[in-house]
Amino acid sequence: MVFVQTLLALVIIVAGAQLFVTEVQYFSVTVLHFPPAILALLLAPLATELPEKFNSIIWISRDKDTLAIGNITGAMAFQSTLPVMLGVLFTSWNLTFTWGTTGFLNAFSAILALLSGAILYHRAGSVGDANMQPLPFFVGGILYLIFIIVVLYHVFYLGISVS
């Protein structure tokens, strides 16, 4: 019975992911009239990590800190390996630095992600035995907000579109 439930859950996850990707592509191209990569770059962090954050918040409220930290680190380790590998292998990459293009937004998002990771890595290494403060973790949120502003500028001011 466990095997059947696991297989059924896997089928539902794959079907849900396929439905999500199809609908994001349809909504991006048909409704918003801009490249699906832009909407994917905005939604992917929310769609993939937000449920993990809510689970961790629930576990922390129940004094299960170890589960909360394990959940976050496991999700981050998974998100930084398998999906990235599949994306690199099976999608075309446009990482140009030409302002006003989808390639620029792709490259800019990669640079911001690496910068955010480097800042947090440096901060974690320099803390020693002291407790980490939450403020440095807002750096990723600030960089994400900057990315959203740049994307909105590209879409609404520069008129980047599907064509």
Sequence-ordered alpha helix ranges (H) in 28-135: 36-61, 65-79, 82-90, 102-126
> CA-to-CA distance for 41 and 108, rounded, in angstroms?
11
108-148 pLDDT, tens digit each: 988 998 898 888 888 777 777 677 677 777 888 898 899 88
Q: Would the pLDDT of 81 be above 70?
A: yes
> CA-to-CA distance for 55 and 107, rounded, in angstroms?
31
Which residues lie closer than 8 Å to 72 by C-beta, 6 or more apart? 52, 53, 56
- Considering the entire predicted model, what is its pTM? 0.62
List the end-to-end C-alpha distance of the chain, in Å, as a whole number. 50
DSSP three-state, residue 80: coil
Q: How high is the pLDDT of residue 161?
A: 64
Mean pLDDT of 148-158: 84
Confidence of residue 5 (pLDDT cuts 50, 70, 90): very high
Please state, as a whole number, how many other Cβ atoms lie within 10 Å of the Cβ of residue 154.
21
Q: Would the pLDDT of 162 be above 60?
A: no
